[in-house]
A and B are shown apart, each in its own frame.
Chain A
Amino acid sequence: MADLSINMCGIKSPNPFWLASGPPSNCGEQVMRAFDAGWGGAVWKTLGKPIVNVSSRLGAVDHKGNRMSGLNNIELITDRPLDTNFKEIYEVKKRYPNHAVMVSLMVETKQEWEDIIRRAEDAGADGLELNFGCPHGMCERGMGSAVGQEPEILQELTSWVVDYANTPVLVKLTPNVTDILDPGFAAAKGGAHGLSLINTIKSIIGVNLDTLVPLPSVRDKSTNGGYCGPAVKPIALHMVAALARDTRINIPISGIGGIGDWRDAAEFIALGATSVQVCTAVMHYGYRIVEDMIDGLSNYLDDMKMTSVTELIGKAIPHFTEWGNLDLNYRVRATIDAEKCIGCQLCYIACLDGAHQCIHTRQNDCSAYHGESDHGSHPRSEIKPSVIHQADSQIPDYVPFVDEDECVGCNLCQLICPVPGCVSMEERESNVIAKT
């Protein structure tokens, strides 16, 4: 079994799986149960001057019957007394000395920062995470993403904290910026020991169409929230990778955003994360999900013949480059396995209406472009008389077939096909030599 332990800028953890700052890390009892379930670390729910939270607080996007593909919240930082939080942190660290306990912090003045850092470290925190990411509520008071969106202020606040703190300092970044490299670089210049990202994305999750009040509703009003969960993972992956491949920024990254299983975690790690943080998936299914995360990641590392999770860090980065570096002479073509095809015709209609009109069927009249392949170079401005396309082989009528010469290799058919392995993209020799 591969070694899953990590040391992220001095913060040691038995595995890379941390609870992200949020409702699952709200109190000591929760964090201890999480550690018992297998979590390697936890970032304590953000501490600051306690606030009063609203009701309700959460809204979700469901997709085709799947619940909570995306989650949005308008909850603020801790609404429990600081003393209580620090007592619990102390108790947790005493009982779980080998687990990583980071404390997320958000205050305003230098004096407040120094005070809260001292108390967190006195309670036994292994590290601090500066919440410069929260895009709702707190930013209206000049904190959270209001800091994360201003690189100069971010850098200055970071340097105050780093100067004062005795433990490693992670800066948590907001994705609500034009280019993540700006705040990332600012944090590094400010002396941060590591980065955490992404925080949530500014969002309106939906509208109650009966009352016309956006969600989540607080009586007859709502406000923007922070969006997270499986739907945001691609955005987070990109931002983590962008920072990881930037040669100016050489501090470790804790990856956050839509992680729900070991595959998600492995992708973040391969794109440069050292640890990963999870919140929404725990809110959905509970701490127990970490068991499969540990087990699955360990099996994967074994399969990849890696003895430690640290070997995986950044392994995908060399394969991530600018569009301009992509090989224009590489060509793939779709092929449909007639044995596996169930005849749903989803690839046919997707290609016809949403791609390049190169999947045909004998079941339907086709009025899209047909004829000698010209790769779209001639005007196609008339609706042609419809024809029934003929396939070369003796496949059943319900099986669509690909005009390989016309196929641009976009992947759409493979992506929408409900049968695994039915549509495959195969490399073909390119007949066009492209240079630009």
Chain B
Amino acid sequence: MERNMKLPDNRLENKFSESKPLYTKSEARIEANRCLFCYDALCTVACPAGIDISTFINKIASGNIRGAAKTIFKKNLLGVTTAQVCPVEELCVGACVYNKYNSNPINIGRLQRYATETAIQWEQEQDKKLFNTKVSSDRKVALIGAGPASLSCAAHLAHEGVKSVIYEKDNLPGGLNVTGIAPYKLFSDAALKEIDWLKETGLEIQTGVDIGHDISIDNLIDNFDAVFLGAGLGKDKFPGIPGENTSGVWGATDLIRKIKNDHTFTLPENLKTVNVVGGGNSAIDIARELAILGVLEVNIIYRQTKAEMPGYQHELDAAQKDGVRMIEYAVPVEIIQNNRLVLYTKHKITGEPQQFESDWIVIAIGNERDAGQLIPGLEIDEKGCVIVDSQTKRTSVAKIYAGGDCINGGKEVVNAVADGRDAAFAMLHEWGMLDLQHERKNHG
């Protein structure tokens, strides 16, 4: 696979600007010095990866940027992208004690981005490494899907000298980090750059390889010491209403991907109105992206109210500031194409029919959960998620571990990163290469 991966420039994604650009040195110092350096800090408790946040911020304050980055990477090797992708308002920043003090919480995500990007830049400028990758062992691990879970797992394994090969059926690695993050949070090229950096640990990525088709699962199980399933979610789910296959009706992740990565894709000039069906973060993301790209009227049509939306309030607030409108209690019934598309709904409570005209309709009601079907015999819960041991991420099938969206149904990137790390540590522990008790006691 090529180095210095970069997508063509003329993509719609390039029309966006970053909402939280990289801090300058002085911005970072000032922000880091605001941190109280809490003991047993609530931000760390809230971090799914368990990063020792007050320690890394204190290191930024002292000017020890490489030390700060290492503190982050110890727990989260995708520290660069998660710094930008994490819904910090719901996690570390939301837990910051300053919130209880009527003061602005610390911008932890931006500090993490500063520390990690600065340290990687130092590596490149000095031709040095933050981590010494150890001498190889005989062990090797196959990973299915090159999303954040597998990348995290493979990179932690590589740090301990275990050979890992990631198989990705797509022609780009990165999973949702490359295809699915709203551009104002993270550009695809930044995610690809992080993968380039991760590959320097020695992990291997083979793209365009469909496991179960090009290579059999049995083949992997026979030839590797362990297999990690990080296959994410499947295609966009549709509600199963008449007319949903009409042209102009999109799946949300499909459309987001086109905006981010497809340089041949543009929005039609006469695209004036888009209705987005759903209430999760993907619905909010695509609605906001379309509004920023200049679509005059973008509505989120949701079957319940804002209060029940699984999407984050702060994301909805931001989308509404960009002009997105919210329509509540509207349950989709049918889509009919006249000149434009007409979405017929009924009111959730009163049953009263309503109709909404638009040029496009975007369906954002979740994705298929079919990854578990790749491996025969895997125990799967009623929601379609692969069942794993919460600490080791072992599945019901010997040698098979799993993590990320395929075990949780679609959580944050940082959850996938933590899963991949947990699985890597469990494998290393099993092979006598890591004292897991010691690791937990000292680092989490």
| Residues of chain A whose beta carbon lies under 8 Å from any beta carbon of chain B | 64-66, 342-346, 348-349, 361, 363-364, 398, 418-419
Known A-B contacts A398-B42, A419-B101; the reply to A344 vs B61 at CB < 8 A is no
Most chain A beta-carbon contacts within 10 A, residue among B30, B32, B40, B98: B40
Give the distance to chain A from B33, nearest Cβ to Cβ, in Å.
3
Instruction: Count A-B pairs with CB separation below 8 Å.
Output: 41
Are B33 and A342 closer than 8 Å at their CB atoms? no
Are B61 and A64 closer than 8 Å at their CB atoms? yes
25 A/B residue pairs, CB under 8 Å, sorted by A: A64-B33, A65-B29, A65-B32, A65-B34, A65-B61, A342-B97, A342-B98, A342-B100, A342-B101, A343-B42, A343-B97, A343-B100, A344-B38, A345-B38, A345-B39, A345-B40, A345-B41, A346-B38, A348-B39, A349-B39, A364-B40, A398-B42, A418-B36, A418-B101, A419-B101
Residues in chain B near residue A64, CB distance under 8 A: 33, 61
B37 interfacial contact with A, CB 8 Å = yes
The interface residues of chain B, by DSSP majority, are classed as helix
Residues in chain A near residue B41, CB distance under 8 A: 344-345
Residues in chain B near residue A361, CB distance under 8 A: 40
Residues in chain B near residue A345, CB distance under 8 A: 38-41
Most chain A beta-carbon contacts within 10 A, residue among B32, B97, B98: B97
Closest B residue to A364 by CB, please name it. Answer: B40
Residues in chain A near residue B40, CB distance under 8 A: 345, 348-349, 361, 363-364
Are A346 and B61 closer than 8 Å at their CB atoms? no
Q: CA A218 – CA B344 in complex, angstroms?
A: 79
Q: CA A226 – CA B41 in complex, angstroms?
A: 40
Q: CA A419 – CA B33 in complex, angstroms?
A: 17
Residues in chain A near residue B38, CB distance under 8 A: 343-346
Query: Which interface class (under 10, 10 to 19, 20 to 34, 35 or more) fits B?
Result: 10 to 19
Are A346 and B33 closer than 8 Å at their CB atoms? no
Residues in chain A near residue B30, CB distance under 8 A: 65
Residues of B90-110 contacting chain A, CB below 8 A: 97-98, 100-101
Closest 3 CB pairs of A and B: A65-B33, A349-B39, A345-B39
Most chain B beta-carbon contacts within 10 A, residue among A342, A348, A418: A342
Q: Hey, what's the 0/1 contact readout for B323-351 against A, CB within 8 Å counting as 1?
A: 00000000000000000000000000000
Give the distance to chain A from B50, nearest Cβ to Cβ, in Å.
15
Q: CA A142 – CA B40 in complex, angstroms?
A: 56
Residues in chain A near residue B97, CB distance under 8 A: 342-344
The interface residues of chain A, by DSSP majority, are classed as loop
Known A-B contacts A64-B61, A65-B61, A419-B101; the reply to A344 vs B39 at CB < 8 A is yes
Q: CA A349 – CA B37 in complex, angstroms?
A: 11
Q: CA A346 – CA B41 in complex, angstroms?
A: 10
Q: CA A303 – CA B97 in complex, angstroms?
A: 35
Give the distance to chain B from A357, nearest Cβ to Cβ, in Å.
14
Give the distance to chain A from B214, nearest Cβ to Cβ, in Å.
51
Known A-B contacts A65-B33, A65-B61; the reply to A346 vs B39 at CB < 8 A is yes
Q: Hey, what's the 0/1 contact readout for B70-106 against A, CB within 8 Å counting as 1?
A: 0000000000000000000000000001101100000
Q: Hey, what's the 0/1 contact readout for B188-219 against A, CB within 8 Å counting as 1?
A: 00000000000000000000000000000000
Q: CA A66 – CA B33 in complex, angstroms?
A: 9
Known A-B contacts A64-B61, A398-B42, A419-B101; the reply to A344 vs B33 at CB < 8 A is no
Residues in chain A near residue B42, CB distance under 8 A: 343, 398
Known interface pairs A65-B30, A65-B34; 13 further A-B residue pairs with C-beta atoms within 8 A, sorted by A's residue number: A65-B33, A65-B61, A343-B42, A343-B97, A344-B97, A345-B39, A345-B40, A346-B36, A346-B39, A349-B40, A398-B42, A418-B36, A418-B101
Q: Hey, what's the 0/1 contact readout for B302-335 against A, CB within 8 Å counting as 1?
A: 0000000000000000000000000000000000
Give the distance to chain B from A77, nearest Cβ to Cβ, in Å.
35
Closest A residue to B26 by CB, please name it. Answer: A65
Give the distance to chain A from B191, nearest Cβ to Cβ, in Å.
32
Residues in chain B near residue A343, CB distance under 8 A: 38, 42, 97, 100
Q: Hey, what's the 0/1 contact readout for B16-45 against A, CB within 8 Å counting as 1?
A: 000000000000011011101111111000
Q: CA A417 – CA B412 in complex, angstroms?
A: 34
Q: Hey, what's the 0/1 contact readout for B122-154 against A, CB within 8 Å counting as 1?
A: 000000000000000000000000000000000
Residues in chain B near residue A419, CB distance under 8 A: 101
Q: CA A346 – CA B98 in complex, angstroms?
A: 13
Q: CA A344 – CA B38 in complex, angstroms?
A: 5
Residues in chain B near residue A65, CB distance under 8 A: 29-30, 32-34, 61
Give the distance to chain B from A421, nearest Cβ to Cβ, in Å.
12
Residues in chain B near residue A348, CB distance under 8 A: 39-40
Give the distance to chain B from A358, nearest Cβ to Cβ, in Å.
16
Are B101 and A346 closer than 8 Å at their CB atoms? no
Q: CA A318 – CA B100 in complex, angstroms?
A: 42
Q: CA A176 – CA B39 in complex, angstroms?
A: 39
Give the distance to chain B from A191, nearest Cβ to Cβ, in Å.
50
Most chain A beta-carbon contacts within 10 A, residue among B33, B38, B41: B38
Closest B residue to A341 by CB, please name it. Answer: B100
Residues in chain B near residue A66, CB distance under 8 A: 33
Q: CA A418 – CA B30 in complex, angstroms?
A: 17
Residues in chain B near residue A342, CB distance under 8 A: 97-98, 100-101
Known A-B contacts A65-B61, A418-B101, A419-B101; the reply to A344 vs B29 at CB < 8 A is no
Give the distance to chain A from B417, nearest Cβ to Cβ, in Å.
26
Closest A residue to B63 by CB, please name it. Answer: A209
Q: CA A363 – CA B41 in complex, angstroms?
A: 11
Give the distance to chain B from A224, nearest Cβ to Cβ, in Å.
25
Q: CA A157 – CA B61 in complex, angstroms?
A: 49
Residues in chain A near residue B33, CB distance under 8 A: 64-66
